[in-house]
Structure 1
Amino acid sequence: MSPSNKKVNLFVFVVTLFFVSSCFDLTRAAKANSVSLAEAAEKQKQDAEIHKILFEDNQSIQECLNVTLRRKTPEVKKNDTKPDKPLWTVVILREEIIQKDKTLNIQQCTGSLIHPQVVLTAAHCLHNKPIAELKVRAGEINRRPDKNTTTFHHQERHIESIAYQKSYDPTKPKRDIALVFLKTPFNVSSSTHIKTVCLPPTRFPVNATYVRCFVTGWEKKSHHVKLGHANFKKIDLPIIPNYRCQKVLRLTGLGEEFNLHKSFMCAGGELEKSALEGNGGAPLVCPVCGSSGKMQVQVGVMSWGFKASPLPEVFTAVSSARHWIMEELQEKKLKLPNCGIKWNQDGVEP
């Protein structure tokens, strides 16, 4: 065979090989695309089923929880609930040494200020963590651990002790709530952006009501998670009745035998909207209105979820821990700030 024929045959072989390889890649891509489309269709079907369970009969969502307030309360100013003010939302930071003389402040939990010297948060994110490595910061907007950049002047306090309910078990999903007692109180009297939040009574009627509430915390940017960069944000979520939430959660890997503990409540369930990831302990606050006024009440503490809409997020119901909270405060000789109302045992005026 002449050299010229060898070159021609080699060229034909290379072209054929390229063509076959291209066809194989196209076939594989087509199959992958077909699978992804099928998965997307199945996901859409599941989302529709979940939405139907959560919002059956096109359940309307209230913008305010209507109860009769026993005592007149001041109207909540519009700018009090804007996302550019943290108010009662605080962040619990853990100091991490990265070099000999350099530390970073890493977000450990989110919490709420229920007293100038007391923070309410989730138990799971603090359990077995050394108190000496933790501190609480209030009044922060945007966080950069390497720089103290914030719109408002923030305050920091060291932790004296942490209280958990006696029945709390980190291996079981229930009573996920904790109280953080500070060595010194935050200065709230002279601050416009650091305030305490009101708590509901023991039998507060929020669990069976569709009402639009909001959760606040710090949205972490994916490429800065390890560095702790985050921006303060507020997300509105509707309260979902527990029986419907449990029905949806049983469709997940939790299984048909899963029972949602009575200490929990649920919120969310809307497409393209989920609670803030990495904000365990974040406060879920609802607007409460009546003929005599309007106020904000913290009904939940963020506990766990599946990080995927439209599955609802699970919160510890604050009302379920009200007695325990009051006992712990009384032991420390502390009293909750006066919110301007007096609840009866049912949470409404008789």
Structure 2
Amino acid sequence: MIFTINYSLYLVFTLFICCDGMATNQVWNQQTKLQKRPWVKSRLTRAVYLRKLIIGNSPASIIDHPYQVLLMINGKPKCGGSIIRSNFILTAAHCIHNVKVHQLQIRAGSTDRTLGGQIREIQEMYYPDDKFNIDTYDFDIAILKLVEHLVFNEAVASIELPTPGREIKEHDMAKATGWGMTDPLESTLPKILQVVKLPQISTSSCRKYYGNLISERMFCAGYEEGGKDTCLGDSGGPLVANNTLVGITSWGGDICAQAGKPGVFTKISFFREFIDDIINNKII
């Protein structure tokens, strides 16, 4: 469904959230806004604006996206993630920033975010804490090591990683998946996984929209005219092209699916050495 922004409705919804924010806070444990870029919001913290999780979305089956997981904090849905090994999950650093390991769980192998599949506790979490910047979202990548391996089947499988240094192919289509709010006037979340197709935008082209906020570790995906996008709750989730995990949902403009403000993703090919060192037990 293509979503068109209505600014009068936006003002009403802002008042609605101010007066009835408790329900939303029960669903999403929101963090503070980005301090240095108040007009830019992460795909985790954008519930107080008029937006959906996947804009221009359609329902999806976990069978078609078996690498997708739901990341939970204290039992509540928080972010997405991707299976890269039977005991390793890739997500965004801002999803686990200031969170303790014992607070984390993942659910894999279920189209329905509320039941079924395999739930696993987290043993260790790794992210470049000496480089990750909560203000700029640079180095927005994290790896979770599971206490118990996942059992692979048709609904649970790993996703291929890009080769080191692989460049983003301009305009190549990619798929983003996730769960989250699909109606700006409701605080409930959809139970079923959603998917949206987005054209990739290279790092250099992405700077056309965000200037020097885009580092070499970032790229964009979306349409010049807007209408389709990732959003609230998608943070940490996968962007997949040609059966390869090319990006991690990270941040974007203050209104999802806004024209001239495509979603911004962490470029996984930049971090292959970091990922390989962890999953190959070189860093423990």
TM-score by length of 1: 0.59
Per residue, is there more helix in 1 or in 2?
1
For residue 275 of structure 1, what is the aligned residue in structure 2?
230
Give me the whole-angstrom Cα distance separating, in 2, the residues matched to 1:285 and 1:208. Answer: 12
8 Å contact kept, 1:218–1:276: no
Q: Tell me how large the CA RMSD over aligned residues is.
A: 2.3
Q: Secondary structure at the match of 2:165?
A: coil
The 5 A counterparts of 1:237-316 are 237-250=198-211, 258-269=212-223, 270-287=225-242, 296-306=243-253, 307-310=256-259, 311-316=261-266
Select 1:116's aligned residue among 77, 86, 91: 86
Select 1:196's aligned residue among 142, 158, 169: 158
Gaps of 5+ in 2: 1-6, 9-58
CA shift at 1:184, angstroms? 0.6
For residue 84 of structure 1, what is the aligned residue in structure 2?
61
TM-score by length of 2: 0.71
1:141-174 CA distance string (max 9 Å, x none):
1234xxx3xxxx4000000010012422323321
8 Å contact kept, 1:142–1:232: yes
Give me the whole-angstrom Cα distance separating, in 2, the residues matched to 1:143 and 1:241. Answer: 32
CA shift at 1:278, angstroms? 1.8
Letter in 1 for 2:162: P
Letter in 2 for 1:284: L
For residue 117 of structure 2, what is the aligned residue in structure 1?
154
The 5 A counterparts of 1:169-248 are 169-188=133-152, 191-205=153-167, 207-222=168-183, 225=187, 228-248=189-209
For residue 131 of structure 2, what is the aligned residue in structure 1?
167
Compare CA radii of gyration and give the structure with the larger one. Answer: 1
Letter in 1 for 2:173: R
For residue 271 of structure 2, what is the aligned residue in structure 1?
321
Give me the whole-angstrom Cα distance separating, in 2, the residues matched to 1:161 and 1:313. Answer: 29
For residue 107 of structure 2, what is the aligned residue in structure 1?
137
CA shift at 1:133, angstroms? 1.9
Give me the whole-angstrom Cα distance separating, in 2, the residues matched to 1:298 and 1:141. Answer: 19
Q: Relative to structure 1, is the Cα distance of residues 333 and 260 closer, same or farther in structure 2, using a 3 angstrom cutoff?
A: closer
Q: Relative to structure 1, is the Cα distance of residues 308 and 244 closer, same or farther in structure 2, using a 3 angstrom cutoff?
A: same
Letter in 1 for 2:195: K
